[in-house]
């Protein structure tokens, strides 16, 4: 047994030391990684494995529906560009009474689910879960790094949602993580992460899960395998993250429903796929009566679907197709 360990160690050293030979020893590296993952998974036990919390736990149960308004609420009003409001030092928009909208970048935060479809109702919920701090940090850091492609950021978020160990990161995902996260934040990616689960462990786990949860669990493992291999494209990751077809909409939560935000304003979402969301905000006059300063900072927000088979959408402060030639007219800054 000791001799076998020495041989394996020597081979791993050779792979690390000779980068030009990566292709030659790639198969051996994958097998050794799988052996390590299998040992860890079996030591943990399938029951305990299934009890490990998701990276982001936000669900429709986290939506506060008190004060919600149907889509007809304030229908026919004119919305002004949200992105023309002044920003605070943290990059959030300083709100004023009135109606505002912005089409912004958004990101899928749940692999193995359906993309948004017409008729889906989305409501506000906060980013919650063991990796909430890292996810919000990525979205805030991305605001300062416009050179980082949206696809690369989405790939990184899928990798985190899949609970991939940072030690297994490779390729563009690793480059993006190093660009957007601090050293301390990178170390947080190890906690609660899973290795690549081998076939027999996956089969035992899947037998204990309902179909919808099983799809997510399997998608996450496939993403971990791809990222660890270093041989993947955005399309490869998307294939596992996005389920083909459409989830049936819930009639009790129509598209365009308003959520009353904890800060007192109203907000609603109209996704166009998972990468683009139109956000509309209504700020009541009475909310500003005492000179209160209300900030809209989307980096901690999720457009949460009523249908659990659809994708949670992380929101951003980054507008798409912004027209800065327009002059905004508000009670705070009248023409």
Residue spans per domain, the chain: 2-57+132-241, 62-127+248-319
Closest Cα to residue 29, out of 38, 18, 16, 20? 16
What mean pLDDT do residues 131-140 have? Answer: 97
Token pair belonging to 290:
């005492």
Q: Which of 5-9, 11-15, 70-74 has the highest mean pLDDT?
A: 70-74
* pTM of structure: 0.83
Torsion of Cα atoms, 145 then 150 then 156 then 162, to 10°: 150
- Residue 238 CA to residue 250 CA, distance in Å, equals 25
216 burial level (CB within 10 Å; 0-12, 13-18, 19+): buried
Q: By percentage, how much of the chain surpasses pLDDT 90?
A: 61
pLDDT of residue 50: 62
Q: Is the pLDDT of residue 62 over 70?
A: yes
pLDDT of residue 41: 44
The residue among 207 and 69 whose pLDDT is bigger is 69
Q: Is the pLDDT of residue 1 over 80?
A: no
pLDDT of residue 198: 59
pLDDT of residue 250: 75
Q: Is the pLDDT of residue 207 over 90?
A: no
pLDDT of residue 100: 98
Q: Is the pLDDT of residue 303 over 90?
A: yes
Q: Is the pLDDT of residue 25 over 80?
A: no
The residue among 197 and 21 whose pLDDT is bigger is 197
- Residue 48 CA to residue 31 CA, distance in Å, equals 24
Of the listed ranges 97-101, 106-110, 192-196, 232-236, the one predicted with least confidence: 192-196
Q: Is the pLDDT of residue 310 over 50?
A: yes
131 touches 192 (CB < 8 A):
yes
Of the listed ranges 207-211, 233-237, 266-270, the one predicted with least confidence: 207-211
- Residue 82 CA to residue 188 CA, distance in Å, equals 33
Token pair belonging to 201:
């462990």
Terminal-residue alpha carbon distance, the chain: 81
Q: Is the pLDDT of residue 37 over 70?
A: no
What mean pLDDT do residues 292-298 have? Answer: 94
């Amino acid at each position: 047994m000791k001799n076998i360990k020495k041989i394996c160690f020597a081979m791993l050293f050779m792979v690390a030391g000779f980068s030009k030979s990566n292709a030659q020893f790639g198969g051996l590296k994958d097998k050794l990684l799988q052996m390590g993952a299998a040992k860890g998974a079996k030591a943990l036990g399938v029951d305990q494995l299934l009890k490990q919390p998701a990276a982001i736990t936000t669900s429709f149960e986290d939506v506060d529906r008190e004060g919600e308004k149907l889509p007809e609420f304030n229908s026919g009003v004119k919305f002004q560009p949200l992105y023309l409001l002044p920003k605070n030092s943290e990059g959030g928009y300083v709100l004023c009474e009135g109606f505002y909208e912005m089409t912004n970048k958004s990101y899928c935060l749940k692999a193995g689910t359906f993309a948004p479809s017409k008729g889906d109702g989305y409501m506000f919920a906060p980013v919650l879960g063991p990796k909430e701090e890292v996810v919000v940090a990525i979205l805030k850091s991305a605001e300062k790094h416009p050179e980082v492609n949206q696809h690369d950021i989405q790939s990184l978020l899928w990798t985190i949602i899949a609970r991939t160990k940072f030690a297994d990161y490779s390729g563009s995902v690793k480059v993006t993580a190093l660009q957007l996260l601090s050293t301390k934040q990178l170390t947080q990616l190890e906690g609660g992460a899973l290795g690549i689960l081998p076939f027999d462990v996956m089969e035992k786990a899947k037998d204990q899960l309902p179909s919808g949860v099983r799809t997510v669990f399997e998608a996450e493992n496939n993403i971990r395998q791809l990222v660890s291999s270093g041989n993947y494209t955005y399309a490869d990751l998307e294939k596992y993250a996005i389920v083909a077809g459409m989830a049936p909409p819930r009639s009790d939560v129509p598209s365009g429903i308003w959520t009353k935000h904890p800060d007192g304003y109203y907000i609603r979402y109209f996704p166009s796929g998972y990468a683009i969301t139109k956000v509309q905000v209504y700020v009541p006059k009475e909310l500003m009566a005492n000179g209160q300063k209300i900030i809209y900072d989307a980096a901690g927000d999720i457009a949460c679907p009523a249908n659990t088979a659809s994708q949670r959408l992380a929101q951003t402060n980054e507008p798409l197709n912004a027209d800065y030639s327009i002059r905004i007219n508000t009670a705070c800054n009248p023409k």
